[in-house]
Amino acid sequence: MVTIRYFGPFRDLTKTTEEEVPGGQTVRDLLGLLEERHGEIFSPSEQPVPVAGRLILLVNGRHVQHLDGLDTYLSDQDVLSVFPLLGGG
């Protein structure tokens, strides 16, 4: 199983701090599942706003952009952390 950990407003949106889903899928596939469960903020679609403009996704502590992006393969025992995109000045 893959553990998904939610941070910030995603804890309120999903009504949990973490959940488990089957491994053997890509981050893109998993986002499609999360969209079905929790709404379009998790949509893997790049329109109208790219995923990178909505979410920060870490797999085992590494940003997916430094792996294979949304095509990063998730194995059992992986941890996907989902953070809101933050801005500031």
Identity of the amino acid at 16: T
Neighbours of 46 (CB within 10 A): 11
Cα–Cα distance measured from residue 80 to residue 89, given in angstroms and rounded to the nearest whole number: 27
Looking at residue 87, its pLDDT comes to: 60
pLDDT below 70 — which residues of the chain? 47-49, 87-89
Domains of the chain and CATH, by start: 2-84 (3.10.20.30)
**In 3-state terms, what secondary structure has residue 66?**
helix
Which structure tokens are listed for 42?
């998790």
ω into residue 50 within 30 of 0, thus cis? Answer: no
Looking at residue 11, its pLDDT comes to: 95
Looking at residue 47, its pLDDT comes to: 61
Cα–Cα distance measured from residue 11 to residue 5, given in angstroms and rounded to the nearest whole number: 9
